[in-house]
Amino acid sequence: MNTTIVGFPRIGKNRELKFLTERYFKKEITLDELNEGAKNLRVEHLKIQNESIDMVSVGDFSFYDGMLDTSIMLGVIPKRHRDLNLCKEDLYFAIAKGYQDGDIDVKASSMKKWFNTNYHYITPEIDDETKIELSDTKILNEFLEAKEIGIDPKAVLIGPFTFLKLAKYYGKKREIDFVKSIADAYVEIIKELAYDGCKFIQMDEPILVTDLTQDDIKIFKAIYKKILAGKPLINIILQTYFGDIRDVYRDVLKMGFNGLGLDFVEGEKTLELVNKYGMPENLCLFAGVINGKNIWKSEYSKIFALIKELMKKVKNIVLSTSCSLLHVPYTTTLEKGLSEFQLSKLSFAQEKLKELKEISTVIDTGKITEQLLENDELFKSSNNITSEVTTRISNLTDADYIRLPNRSDRVALQKDALNLPVLPTTTIGSFPQTRKVRINRSNYKSGKCTCDEYESNIKGYIKECINLQEDLGFDVLVHGEFERNDMVEFFGENLNGFIFTKFAWVQSYGTRCVKPPIIFSDVYRTKPITVDISKYAQSLSTKPVKGMLTGPITILNWSFPRADIEISQSVLQIALAIRDEVLDLEKNGIKIIQIDEAALREKLPIRKEDWNKKYLDWAIPAFRLTHSGVKPETQIHTHMCYSEFDDIIKEIDDMDADVISFEASRSSLEILKSLKDSNFETQVGPGVYDIHSPRVPSVDEIVSVINNILKVIPKEKVWVNPDCGLKTRDVKETLASLTNLIEAAKSVRAQL
Ligand code: GLN
Ligand code: ZN
């Protein structure tokens, strides 16, 4: 049985592409050097794939982002960037990152999350002047590069339908208006590839796993009708991933594709669809049986069972991954700090290639190989379960998820306990991570300073931070989070059950990579994590200082989750650990506790019908579990890094926090209106200025934002705060912005 993958990570084993590109940005290397380095990397990746799998890919490489490459290929370039008159490469990076030179300041195109992953793509911008036509053929070079080293690869393109659906439209024209031109452009590139000897083209159409309307389906069919009619003799694989294609499965079988890539991991209905409607003999199934997103070894016996079932219905099968391996780190072999046991359970991109080979060998030879026995053994042993945690979860009752008394009855009690003015002012938690803060941390990590020195420095920063907030006149203070590098990593490091890698980077966007912790086994807390620091901070002021925690859903969503238990269980374990911390903070005199859920929205399922059943129905109660045990006087805050929650507004209110702060400085009034329309009960702090920019907002500006908020939301419910943590800002601008924020709040208060 032949094997392939949907795509390979491009960033390199040691993030070579990142460093290369960043050096080019800093003008430390020339364009030729950049291209040369990238080529070496591509060749290396081709060779690595070629060792294990039958069908290697080209076209999955990108200097910044594959969607942006597709925009360039199709000539979809925003006018403001085109007008810059830059060389091809610099134009490319200008769209990705914006362009500044003297007086010229041109904004980048916006970035959006790529389906349900943590990868972000550059949104194509289309207006009524946009002409889609084949404008770049970089994929040809990559194809020929592979041929040169004796590899006959398949070429991978992001498909036209996904491209059009993800584009942002600025004029009157919509997807339907580009059907002909985009189909023509694809036919042209397919012809060129065929002319150079390419035999297989994979068209990635992940948008097919989302909820499609009848109009969408018409457009999809119209585009491919043209492409498949116009193409030369070459095999076209329609590749889907991140779910099943229930809306178009039957159509797709009849459209004339040569291959169909289906996701059997996340595609909940994929197997059912194949079983029910079968697959024509001349359509080859690219079966995504290896999880392309998680970092765990596959359970071979399960995959064999699946393939056996598929073979009853399908004649031609190629084994593949469920999606591109872009979403997993490069290789486990670099991780010298992990135990043999831990490593035995892990599988990153390079290891997944080997898994494909091992599986196909067993299928082809019918022999029980050593690897197969080893794999069976691995899944017999589960050292990951801690019985106390399991018992604690099974003892939970409905009452544990409900905080009493009701929120409306808590308001007065908290008012008395906290004695806050109207429009209380606060910040989201972190203060600028200055050089000295970072040096202190790195000295501690590298053993250059003792634990005592490290901690006493932290105390110094906290004291400065508290004094600063007192001087500025804040009502509710924070300690500044100087002990945290990252809001998830910090808790992961202090909880049992997480493991940390050294090199397991995954591309998040452009040259930025993240290294998520791995939830390896049952999560529990062995000792208080933030209590000492919070107690110390509170001892410095008579005003309330917020305890600062990261919520269970965010910890889960920004980690690699387990595969051996349901994530709805895993989140409860984390929730219980955070609950213990909440109660300890309360016991130690902390009156306000903020539990951040920055990433709640990120893992909403792709299909709307799954939002509640498959996610919110367990995620929201998990949050409530963290705080349901506190006294009525204790005020629970939460924070979210976005404001698009119109569509989950009820669920957010159901988190039953007393106060929520969120980003609103950009989309302001709409969200406020929907808060009002939904009778949102939680008190709100819609961020009054954007911390993602170094710009200092004026007093007048903030006054008018607050006044706008007060037009829609009763003053008793409104808090005044920036829209996110201040960690990435520098001290000077922070000071100026916060001074203005306080003055603005005071001036509005005076008018009330
Ligand atoms: N409390 C965190 C901070 O201020 C929240 C960060 C976030 O929302 N991403 O940094
Ligand atoms: Zn935030």
User: For the segment 563-612, what is each residue's pLDDT rounded down to a tens digit?
Assistant: 999 999 999 999 999 999 999 999 999 999 999 999 999 999 999 999 99
User: With 70 as the cut, is the pLDDT of residue 341 above it?
Assistant: yes
Sheet holding 57-58, edge to edge: 2-3, 317-321, 284-290, 259-263, 235-239, 200-204, 154-158, 57-58
pLDDT category of residue 663 using cuts at 50, 70 and 90: confident
- Tell me which residue has its CA closest to atom 1 in ligand 1: 429
Fold of 389-432+474-482+522-751: TIM Barrel (3.20.20)
Quote the ligand 2 centre to 419 CA distance (angstroms).
Answer: 26
Hey, what amino acid is at 277? Y
Q: What is the pLDDT of residue 665?
A: 62
Give 365: exposed, middle or buried? Use CB within 10 Å, 0-12, 13-18, 19+.
Answer: exposed
pLDDT category of residue 35 using cuts at 50, 70 and 90: very high
Q: What is the pLDDT of residue 644?
A: 82
Query: Buried b / exposed e across 424-447, counting CB within 10 Å, b at 16+?
Result: bbbbbbbbbbeeebeebbeebeee
Q: What is the pLDDT of residue 672?
A: 87
Q: Is 721 helix (H, G, I), strand (E, B) or coil?
A: coil
Active site residue 627: no
Q: Is 20 helix (H, G, I), strand (E, B) or coil?
A: helix
| CA–CA separation, 571 and 618 (whole Å) | 8
Report CA-CA distances (Å) from 535 to 454, 525, 587.
18, 19, 10
| CA–CA separation, 67 and 64 (whole Å) | 9
pLDDT category of residue 560 using cuts at 50, 70 and 90: very high
Helix (H) or strand (E) holding 59: none
- Tell me which residue has its CA closest to atom 8 in ligand 1: 598
Query: Buried b / exposed e across 101-119, counting CB within 10 Å, b at 16+?
Result: eeeeeeebbebeebbbbbb
pLDDT tens sequence across 149-182? 999 999 999 999 999 999 999 999 999 999 999 9
The domain ranges of the chain are 16-378, 389-432+474-482+522-751
Among 472, 470, 462, which residue's Cα sits nearest to residue 536? 462
User: With 90 as the cut, is the pLDDT of residue 384 above it?
Assistant: no
Average pLDDT, the chain: 96
- CB-based contacts of 89, cutoff 8 Å, min separation 6: 31, 34, 63
Hey, what amino acid is at 289? V
pLDDT tens sequence across 672-717? 888 999 999 999 999 999 898 888 999 999 999 999 999 999 999 9
Q: Give the dihedral sign, CA 30/36/39/41.
A: negative
| CA–CA separation, 207 and 129 (whole Å) | 25
CA atoms within a 13 Å half-sphere pointing along the CA-CB vector of 322 = 23
Ligand 1, pocket-test mutation among 481, 489, 558, most atoms within 8 A of CB: 481
Q: What is the mean pLDDT of residues 505-522?
A: 95
Ligand 2 is an ion; its neighbours by CB within 5 Å are 598, 641, 724
pLDDT tens sequence across 233-249? 999 999 999 999 999 99
Q: What is the pLDDT of residue 673?
A: 87
551 lines ligand 1 (CB under 6 A): no
pLDDT tens sequence across 51-90? 999 999 999 999 999 999 999 999 999 999 999 999 999 9
Q: What is the pLDDT of residue 667?
A: 52
Q: 329-334, long-range: CB within 8 Å, 24+ apart, which pairs?
A: 329/9, 329/295, 329/501, 329/503, 329/504, 329/505, 329/506, 329/515, 330/9, 330/11, 330/12, 330/13, 330/503, 330/504, 330/505, 331/13, 332/504, 334/13, 334/502, 334/503
Q: Is 651 helix (H, G, I), strand (E, B) or coil?
A: helix
* Window from 215-229, 379-393, 465-479 with minimum mean pLDDT: 379-393
Rounded to 5 degrees, φ, ψ at 304 are -60, -40
- CB-based contacts of 486, cutoff 8 Å, min separation 6: none
User: With 60 as the cut, is the pLDDT of residue 666 above it?
Assistant: no
Q: What is the pLDDT of residue 190?
A: 98
- With tokens 């606060």, the residue in question is 426
Q: Give the dihedral sign, CA 450/451/454/456.
A: negative
Quote the percentage of the chain above a pLDDT of 70: 99
Domain 16-378 matching CATH 3.20.20.210: the answer reads yes
| pTM of the shown model | 0.95
pLDDT tens sequence across 200-212? 999 999 999 999 9
User: Taking the CB of residue 303, how many other CB atoms lie within 10 A of it?
Assistant: 22
530 lines ligand 1 (CB under 6 A): no
- With tokens 């300041």, the residue in question is 105
| CA–CA separation, 372 and 346 (whole Å) | 16
User: With 80 as the cut, is the pLDDT of residue 481 above it?
Assistant: yes
Tell me, letter by letter, the H, E, C secondary structure of 372-416. HHHHHHHHHCCCCCCHHHHHHHHCCCHHHHCCCCCHHHHHHHHHH
pLDDT category of residue 283 using cuts at 50, 70 and 90: very high
pLDDT category of residue 482 using cuts at 50, 70 and 90: very high
Report CA-CA distances (Å) from 342 to 332, 336, 520, 717.
10, 11, 8, 49
Rounded to 5 degrees, φ, ψ at 599 are -115, 20
| Domains 16-378 and 389-432+474-482+522-751 fall in the same CATH topology | yes
Ligand 1, pocket-test mutation among 427, 431, 487, 602, most atoms within 8 A of CB: 487
Ligand nearest to the CA of 665: 2
DSSP character at residue 432: -
- CB-based contacts of 694, cutoff 8 Å, min separation 6: 729, 730, 733
User: With 70 as the cut, is the pLDDT of residue 668 above it?
Assistant: no
Q: What is the pLDDT of residue 646?
A: 86
Six-digit token pair at 484? Answer: 């945290």
C-beta of residue 675 within 8 angstroms of C-beta of residue 712: yes
User: With 70 as the cut, is the pLDDT of residue 250 above it?
Assistant: yes
Rounded to 5 degrees, φ, ψ at 541 are -145, 150
User: With 60 as the cut, is the pLDDT of residue 739 above it?
Assistant: yes
Ligand nearest to the CA of 478: 1
Among 303, 370, 360, 294, which residue's Cα sits nearest to residue 325? 294
pLDDT category of residue 407 using cuts at 50, 70 and 90: very high
Q: What share of the chain is helix, strand, coil (3-state, %, to 5)?
A: 50, 15, 40
Q: What is the pLDDT of residue 616?
A: 98
Ligand 1, pocket-test mutation among 595, 639, 723, most atoms within 8 A of CB: 639
| CA–CA separation, 732 and 727 (whole Å) | 13
Q: Which atom of ligand 1 is found nearest the CA of 640?
A: 8
Region of 738 on the Ramachandran plot (φ > 0 left; ψ -120 to 50 alpha; else beta):
alpha
C-beta of residue 249 within 8 angstroms of C-beta of residue 228: no
| CA–CA separation, 428 and 656 (whole Å) | 19
640 lines ligand 1 (CB under 6 A): no
Among 316, 303, 311, which residue's Cα sits nearest to residue 355? 303
638 lines ligand 1 (CB under 6 A): no
What is the signed CA dihedral for 513, 562, 626, 714, rounded to 10 degrees? Answer: 50
Q: What is the mean pLDDT of residues 294-314?
A: 97
